[in-house]
Amino acid sequence: MIAATRQTLDSWLQTSGLTLSQTQWEQIDFYVRSVEDYNRKVNITADEGEDLYLRHVADGLAAVEPLRRLAPAQTPRVADLGAGAGFIGLTLKIALSHISMTLIESSYRKYQFLNWVSAELKLRDLHVLWTRAGQAAHGPANPHTFDAVVARAVAPLKSAWALTRPLLGPNSIAILYQSGELPPEEELRSQLSKQEGRLHSLIPYRLPHEEKTRTLAVIQPAPGEKPGEKP
C-alpha cells in the first residue's frame, strides 16, 4: 500500500473514531496483494490497485463500528454472505480479531482463494463455507446461531433480507450494504414487516473521495420469529 493511500484511509477512519494497528495494516496489505496476485491467474474481481483499498477494504471497514456496537457478545459469530473475494468479511476479521467469521461463497474459484488466503493469514476463528446463499441455512456448519450477517452486492434489499434471515437467531442482526436509493423509511419498515423483519437503523456513510452516500441497513428478525422459519 502506498503511503498516500494509507494516509487517506487513516484520516477517513478517524472520522469514525477508529484506528488500526501497524500489524492490522500489514495484514490488510498482505490480503490485498494476494487478491492482485490471484487475480492475474483467476479472475475474482474487476478492480485493481488503489480501488481495492479505497472502495473494497474501506467498505469492509465501514461496518466495523456498527458491528462492534450491535453484536457485543464476547466472541460474536459473524457470517459474510456472498463473500466474493472476501473484502467485507476478511477486512472485518482483521479489524475485529475477537469475532468468529464465516465466509459463505458459492463460486468455487473464489472459495478456493478464500481458503488459501485464510490459511496464509493465520487468523483464529476464520472459516470458509462453499454453498449458495439460499442453501447456507440448511448446511451442517450453520446451526442458526450467527449473531450477525453482513451482505454486500448479494441482491436488492428485500431479497438480501430473505436470504440472510434464516441465518439469524431471534436477537441477531443483518447488516446489508445498499448503494442505491432506498424507499422512504416508513415504506421500508412496512415492506420488511411482511418478511418478518424489523428495521433497526439506516446508517449512511461515504467512501474516501466519494460524494455518493451509501447506506448500511441494519435489520433484525421481528419479535416472536423463530430462527430458520420460512427460509
Q: Is 171 among the domain residues?
A: yes
Look up the CATH number of the domain holding residue 92.
3.40.50.150
Domain extent, residue 69, equals 59-135+145-221
Q: Is 129 among the domain residues?
A: yes
Say yes or no to pLDDT of 229 above 50. no
Taking only the tens place, the pLDDT of each residue in 181-226 is 899 999 999 999 999 999 999 999 999 999 999 999 999 999 865 5
Q: Which of 152, 130, 181, 146 is CA-nearest to residue 61?
A: 152
Mean pLDDT of 59-72: 93
Distances in Å between the alpha carbon of 170 and those of 104, 166, 187, 191, 226?
21, 10, 23, 19, 6
Cβ neighbors of 102 (< 8 A, separation 6 or more) are 77, 78, 79, 80, 89, 127, 128, 129, 141, 142, 146
Q: Considering the chain, what is the average pLDDT of its residues?
A: 90
- The pLDDT of residue 138 is 53
Taking only the tens place, the pLDDT of each residue in 156-188 is 999 999 999 999 988 899 999 999 889 999 999
Say yes or no to pLDDT of 10 above 70. yes
Which stretches does DSSP call E strand in 89-196?
100-105, 126-130, 146-151, 168-178
Q: Is 74 among the domain residues?
A: yes
CA–CA dist 39, 84 (Å, integer): 12
Q: Is 227 among the domain residues?
A: no
Hey, is 19 helix, strand or coil?
coil
Q: Is 130 among the domain residues?
A: yes
Q: Is 67 among the domain residues?
A: yes
Q: Which of 188, 217, 193, 189 is CA-nearest to residue 203?
A: 217
Residue 55 is classified by DSSP as: I
Q: Is 6 among the domain residues?
A: no
Chain-centre distance of CA 56, in angstroms? 10
Winning range, highest mean pLDDT, from 36-40, 139-143, 152-156: 36-40
Q: Is 204 among the domain residues?
A: yes
Based on the structure, what is the number of domains in the chain? 1
